[in-house]
Amino acid sequence: MSDIIGSDHPFNQPQQKTLAAVLDTLVPASEDGQMPSATEVDFDQYLRTQGEIALPLIEAVLEQLDNTFAEQSLEERCAQLQAYSEADPLNFQQVLTHVYDAYYQDDRVRVAIGMIKGPVFPQGNEVMAGDLSLLDPVINNSEQHQYRKV
């Protein structure tokens, strides 16, 4: 887990520890090592871009988790978050959206899933033209596929 520490951090030290554990539980690193965990992306920076929107949502989750959350096993942490997601599905979904939003903006993550780094504009993507000879059966059968004459 990364150490989310900063004097202007909106959360206190114990909260930061719990938050890191939440991130790590929601999106752990992949076993093959290709995908980082959500604590490895700069969630701190992400929160700064969100203004006041995300903080109360996250605070609401942290309030519901006990102080030992970070020390618990992955299974126990999953069970606690699952229980929370059932108790407050709307808030949980909003927090999850923020976590995924931060995670899938990260360049390492983007490259690992086959995307370009950063904003998609102006680089754009290549898409193959496709084989238009696949239309032959439609063209050869065009009496069957005629528009309705009026």
Partner 1 sequence: MTDDVVDVLIIGAGASGASVAWSLADTRMRIVCMEQGDWTNPSEYPTTAANWESQAYGPYNINPNVRGRDTDYPINNDESAVAVVNFNGVGGSTILYGAHFPRLHPSDFKVKSLDGVAEDWPIDYATLEPYFAQNDRVMGVSGLSGDPMYPPKQPPLPPLPMGLVGETLARGFNKLGWHWWPSDSAIISQPYEGRDKCLNLGPCLSACAQGGKSSTDITYWPEAIRRGVELRTRCRVREITVNEQGFADGVVYYNADGEECYQRAEVVVMACNGVGTPRILLNSTSARFPDGLANRSGMVGKNLMFHPVGFVQGVFEERLDSHKGPQACCILSKEFYESDTTRGFVRGYNMQITRGSGPLNTAMAGYTQGTIPWGPGHHEAFRKRFDHVAAIGIIGEDLPEEHNTVTLDTELTDSDGVPSPKITYRYSDNSLKMIEHGLARGEEAMQAAGAVEITKAGPLRDTGWHLLGTARMGNDPETSVVNHWGRSHDVKNLFIVDGSIFVTGGGVNPASTIQACALYIADTMKKNLANLFD
Q: Which residues bind partner 1 (CB under 8 A)?
A: 25-28, 30, 34-35, 49, 74, 78, 81, 93, 96-97, 100-101, 104-105, 109-110, 113-115, 118-132, 134-135, 137-139, 141-142, 144-150
Distance CA 112, CA 118 (A): 13
Determine contact, residues 65/80, Cβ cutoff 8 Å: yes
Nearer to partner 1, 63 or 124 (CB): 124
Triad 52, 55, 91: Cα angle to 5°: 115
Determine contact, residues 4/16, Cβ cutoff 8 Å: yes
Nearest approach, Cβ of residue 17 and partner 1 (Å): 19
Nearer to partner 1, 63 or 149 (CB): 149
Nearer to partner 1, 13 or 141 (CB): 141
Distance CA 37, CA 20 (A): 10
Q: How many residues does the chain have?
A: 150
Could you tell me the two tokens for 10? 């909106």
Q: What is the distance, to the nearest Å, from the Cα of residue 6 to the centroid of all Cα atoms in its chain? A: 23
Nearest approach, Cβ of residue 64 and partner 1 (Å): 16
Determine contact, residues 20/2, Cβ cutoff 8 Å: yes
Nearer to partner 1, 12 or 124 (CB): 124
Nearest approach, Cβ of residue 47 and partner 1 (Å): 13
Nearer to partner 1, 4 or 54 (CB): 54
Nearest approach, Cβ of residue 61 and partner 1 (Å): 13
Nearest approach, Cβ of residue 7 and partner 1 (Å): 26
